[in-house]
Amino acid sequence: MEAISIGLLGLGTVGSGVVKIIENHQDKLMHQVGCPVQVKKILVQDLEKQREVFVREELLTTKAEDIIHNPEIDIVIEVMGGVEETRKHLLEALKNKKHIVTANKDLMAVYGSELLTLASENNCDLFYEASVAGGIPILRSLVDGLASDRITKMMGIVNGTTNYILTKMSKYGNAYEDVLKEAQQLGYAEADPTSDVEGLDAARKMAILATLGFSMKIDLDDVEVQGITHISEEDLDYSKQLGYTMKLIGIAHREGEKVEVSVQPTLLSNAHPLASVNDVYNAVYVYGEAVGETMFYGPGAGSLPTATAVVSDLVGVMKNMRLGVNGKSAVVPQYPKKLKEPEEILSKHFLRLHVRDEVGAFSEITSIFSEYGVSFEKILQLPLKKREVAEIVLVTHHASQKAYERILFQLRDLSSVKEVKSSYRVEGSSNR
């Protein structure tokens, strides 16, 4: 029984986890695919570096071509990260008829179409389950488990770093900067956390989810993105008072032929299942026309959870090799891309204003909302310590994005409004 040989690009946190699982689960893998699995070569930057896992010295190389052009290697597992250089390696590997498993959401969000097309042309598999939500098998569920259904909406917490920060800020009242430092010390956040806290990491994942879930090529530029850096302690306090929990939520919503995809801080009703997903955990809520509502929950990052998704993809490739059906699973998007216009995107909104505490100020504000046919679900009005200034907090009923943006524009021009302090999307109704 000839072994299936693997080349590994990268031996960091996830790469080390992949090596551990392949070594420790060899009997399971053998049972699944009917032959041994062996790591033949591993690309590293430094041959002398101390590693989390023991690897024989002869397996290590600093040259990618030792894997990409090695005729004995059947499958390339990419866990090195990066985009441009990694793309070149994978394009070359596919031209050499090597199957690919990757955990690289940055690469797949930008170059996924190109790589999948080349894989199909060369009868190669390209699997990327680990690129979204770590150990949660969400992509496989969309492609296989829910293949017969029509997905109408996906909502998710798909970035563990921001979820950890918002959990600590909400539960314990910790300041954003303090929690970010703590997250960096614990290894949950990078030294440069921009991609996480500005919502870009989540946006890449939502582009991948929307492309698969709606069978429509959604690009990163199609995702409306807002991060968490401007969320204040007051915003979180008012969220609690009104019966909501603040989360960074990715939303992909299809109505008819048109879709919207966004990532933004969102007030979730405390009754919503996503509201109780805390710390570094991820969860994706999927609505299907036939199945109804399903939720996928689990660790969104970490060495072994992510490596589990990588090795699950590896098993998929190896099963296809045994059956002789590699390169047949990539499905070209079925529908042309049609994005909703701003007047077609409907949602509720939370709005916090500082207003001159004078007669007629509130009626001026409400008249602007009335002009666009937008009514209120909740209203709070509180005097501030500053003289002659009141704070007004509103939760609207559903309004179009276009109407709401015009309302904000007019409010900022209103003499009685000193400042629009914050504005967020709202999902669900609280019972308060």
- Reference 152, options 335, 293, 343, 340; nearest CA is 293
Strands 151-157 and 281-288: antiparallel
Q: How confident is the model at residue 432 (pLDDT cuts 50, 70, 90)?
A: low
Residue 330 lies in a domain: no
Q: What is the pLDDT of residues 91-135, one digit of tens each?
A: 999 999 999 999 999 999 999 989 999 999 999 999 998 899 878
Q: What is the CATH number of the domain that holds 394?
A: 3.30.70.260
Could you tell me if 196 and 254 are in contact, meaning their C-beta atoms sit under 8 angstroms apart? no
Q: Are residues 367 and 269 in the same domain?
A: no
Residue 335 resides in a domain: no
Residue 48 in any domain: the answer is yes
Torsion 55-60-62-65 (CA) sign: negative
- Please identify which of the residues 205, 247, 348, 378 carries the catalytic annotation: 205
Cβ partners under 8 Å of residue 166, min gap 6: 228, 231, 236, 246, 247, 248, 265
What is the secondary structure of 263-312 as a DSSP string?
EEEEEEETTSGGGG--TTEEEEEEEETTTEEEEEEEE-SSHHHHHHHHHH
Regarding beta strands 417-427 and 346-356, do their DSSP bridges make them parallel or antiparallel, or are they unpaired? antiparallel
Asked whether residue 98 falls in the same domain as residue 157, the answer is no
Across the range 306-322, mean pLDDT stands at: 92
Q: What phi-psi label fits residue 112: left (phi over 0), alpha (psi between -120 and 50 degrees) or beta?
A: alpha
Does the pLDDT value for residue 68 go beyond 90?
Answer: yes
| Domain containing residue 417 | 342-427
- Average pLDDT value for residue range 168-177: 93
Chain mean pLDDT for the chain? 92
The answer to whether residues 284 and 159 belong to one domain is yes
Residues 155 and 289 in one domain: yes
Pick from 287, 303, 308, 285: nearest CA to 295 = 285
Q: Is 266 part of any domain? A: yes
DSSP 86-108: HHHHHHHHHHTT-EEEE--HHHH
Identify the CATH number of the domain in which residue 280 sits.
Answer: 3.30.360.10
Give CA–CA dist 365/414, Å, rounded.
8
Whether 337 is in a domain gets the answer no
Q: CB-side exposure of 186: number of CA atoms within 13 Å?
A: 15
Domain match, 152 and 284 both: yes
Please check whether residues 203 and 289 belong to one and the same domain: yes
Do the beta carbons of residue 4 and residue 15 sit within 8 Å? no
Could you give the CA distance from residue 220 to residue 275 in angstroms, rounded to a whole number? Answer: 26
What is the spatial distance between Cα 419 and Cα 411, in angstroms, rounded to a whole number?
Answer: 9
With cut-offs at 50, 70 and 90, classify the pLDDT of residue 381: confident
Same domain, 308 and 405: no
Answer with the residue of higher pLDDT: 407 or 149.
407
- 32 with 56, same domain? yes
What pLDDT score was predicted for residue 429?
Answer: 78
205 annotated active-site? yes
Question: Containing H/E element for 246?
Answer: strand 244-255
Q: What is the pLDDT of residue 304?
A: 85
Asked whether the beta carbons of 228 and 166 are under 8 A apart, the reply is: yes
Report pLDDT for 148: 84
* pLDDT at res. 1: 61
Average pLDDT over residues 296-311: 87
Q: Are residues 151 and 290 in the same domain?
A: yes
Please tell me the predicted confidence (pLDDT) of residue 331.
67
- Domain assignment of residue 156, yes or no: yes
Query: Residue 336: pLDDT band by 50, 70, 90 thresholds?
Result: very high
3-state secondary structure of 197: helix
User: Does residue 61 belong to any structural domain of this protein?
Assistant: yes
Over range 75-80, report the average pLDDT.
97
Work out the pLDDT band at 190, boundaries 50, 70, 90.
confident
Q: pLDDT tens for residues 341-359?
A: 999 999 999 999 999 988 8
pLDDT at 144: 82
For 235-253, the pLDDT digits (tens) are 999 999 999 999 999 999 9
Count of structural domains within the chain: 3
Confidence of residue 410 (pLDDT cuts 50, 70, 90): very high
